[in-house]
Amino acid sequence: MAQNEERIQRQYEDAKAVYAGFGVDTDEALAEFRRIPLSLHCWQGDDVVGFDQDGPLGSGGIQTTGNYPGRARTPEQLMADMDKAMTLCPGKKKLNLHASYAIFEPGEKVDRDKLEPKHFQKWVDFAKERGLGIDFNPTFFSHPMQKDGLTLSSPDENVRGFWIEHGKACIRIARYFAQETGMPCVMNIWTGDGYKDIPADRMGPRMRYKAAIEQILSEPYAFDQVKPCVESKVFGIGVEAYTVGSAEFTLNFAAEHKNKCLPLMDNGHYHPTEVVSDKIPALLCFFPEIAFHITRGVRWDSDHVVLLEDEIREMAREIVRCGALDRCHMALDFFDASINRIAAWVVGFRSWQKALLSALCTPHERLQKLQNEGRFTELMVLQEELKMLPFGDVWNRYCEECGVAGDATWFEEVQRYEADVLSNRK
């Protein structure tokens, strides 16, 4: 072990010298990186089922596929699984919950419009014991009050009213999270509202959606503690023709309510040739803060596990080169039921972190200067050469200083956990 540590340190020192040659201080990059939290979504652990309903993820245009054994079925199991995953994810984390993960005492179940902070007290205890902040999401899917695929935009006033009450209840719960943890709670509003086929009225649902979100946001909160977001989407399964909360709708909503809510971009929610990396600096020209769901769409919003791919790296580079690490709220959002779910969490978490740390180890000022001086050949040459820097040695050093297993060893721990714990679940 000591030998291993020595090797990691030696390799890091070598790498540091190489980076210094490019004008990058890796010690500084690591110090900056350590401050930045990444929100870990509870819903990867149980295929987005939750604890307030019996069925599978039923609606809203999202879907998990696969039947890998070991899905968490109780709050205790989900917490244990998240704990396992978090021991393998280096660095600062937040916990990301959905309202459907309320924990009820036997016999006390309430519907989503009546949820209270006490239904999340066990999660607060869990977070506080581990020093985690909490992010939150009202759950506008997998529920009988979705009518014809609509919630907040439904023409039925009862339906809308129910979901508005749900949203307000969630603001109160978000307030409680912020108070208890001492960290802001990012509360994301996403609905799958839309139509399978060509609508006869596109504006009506959007006007209703707008008024409904405004009503939710009329519930009092301090914007530095509760940060409501609106997440857009291009289409979902069964809602292919029209989505109420489109990109233009949510962006304009957030712009009109700038002192009350943020725009949230999920990189699985755009046409396949659109890239969120390019949208980041566009939004940062106008919004003081923005939020993300980081995922991987394969041909559609398939919510595959995040990998260290080019576009993911470019998103991280934009956040860093815009100097916007403190203006960006980052959360993971994927759900793969076809592989070991702990490994899914860990791979996704570590991949985004690698993207971000490697973005911090990039000589952005030098690159920008080349661009501004019109030295495009040199810019291309340097951009290519940067790809070959010994980033793995910086990453290994980071894992080691966080006391977390390195790339070569963490998966063994997942295998052990699968054999000891997951394989005993029915």
270: which DSSP letter?
A: S
Nearest CA to 126 out of 100, 167, 93 is that of 93
CB of 291 to ligand RNT, least distance (A): 11
CB of 157 to ligand RNT, least distance (A): 25
CA 262-266-267 angle, 5° bins: 135
Q: Which of 266, 289, 336, 393 binds Zn ion (CB under 5 A)?
A: 266
Is residue 287 within 8 Å of 227, Cβ to Cβ? no
- Residue 363 is encoded by which pair of tokens? 């000589």
- What is the C-alpha end-to-end distance of the chain, expressed in Å? 37
In the list Zn ion, ligand RNT, none, the entry touching 48 (Cβ below 5 to 8 angstroms by class) is ligand RNT
Q: Is residue 269 among the annotated active site residues?
A: yes
Q: Is residue 201 among the annotated active site residues?
A: no
Nearest CA to 79 out of 142, 140, 124, 138 is that of 124
Kind and range of the H or E element at 360?
helix 341-360
Is residue 343 within 8 Å of 307, Cβ to Cβ? no
Site track for ligand RNT across 129-158, x = CB under 6 A: --------x---------------------
CA 418-419-424 angle, 5° bins: 85
Q: Looking only at residues 285 through 314 of this chain, which bind ligand RNT when binding is defined by CB under 6 A?
A: 293, 301
Give the nearer residue to ligand RNT in terms of CB position, either 24 or 312: 312
Catalytic residue chosen out of the listed positions 46, 266, 289, 418: 266
Catalytic residue chosen out of the listed positions 135, 193, 289, 333: 333
Site track for Zn ion across 328-367, x = CB under 5 A: -----x----------------------------------
CA distances 228 to 186, 291, 372, 387, Å, are 6, 10, 37, 37
In the list Zn ion, ligand RNT, none, the entry touching 137 (Cβ below 5 to 8 angstroms by class) is ligand RNT
Catalytic residue chosen out of the listed positions 227, 293, 329, 354: 293
Give the nearer residue to Zn ion in terms of CB position, either 81 or 266: 266
Residue 233 sits in the site that holds ligand RNT (CB under 6 A):
yes
CA distances 163 to 135, 169, 191, Å, are 19, 10, 10
Site track for Zn ion across 269-308, x = CB under 5 A: ------------------------x---------------
Give the nearer residue to Zn ion in terms of CB position, either 266 or 336: 266
CA distances 338 to 63, 73, 86, 307, Å, are 12, 16, 20, 16
Q: Looking only at residues 18 through 77 of this chain, which bind ligand RNT when binding is defined by CB under 6 A?
A: 43, 48, 62
> Hey, what amino acid is at 299?
R
Q: Is residue 301 among the annotated active site residues?
A: yes
Give the nearer residue to ligand RNT in terms of CB position, either 99 or 127: 99
Is residue 296 within 8 Å of 307, Cβ to Cβ? yes
CB of 49 to ligand RNT, least distance (A): 11
Kind and range of the H or E element at 8?
helix 2-21
In the list ligand RNT, Zn ion, none, the entry touching 63 (Cβ below 5 to 8 angstroms by class) is none
Catalytic residue chosen out of the listed positions 301, 336, 393, 418: 301
Is residue 398 within 8 Å of 357, Cβ to Cβ? yes
Please report, as ranges, the residues that interact with ligand RNT according to CB under 6 A. 43, 48, 62, 137, 190, 231, 233, 266, 293, 301, 333
Which residues are part of the catalytic machinery? 190, 231, 233, 266, 269, 293, 301, 303, 333
Please report, as ranges, the residues that interact with Zn ion according to CB under 5 A. 266, 293, 333
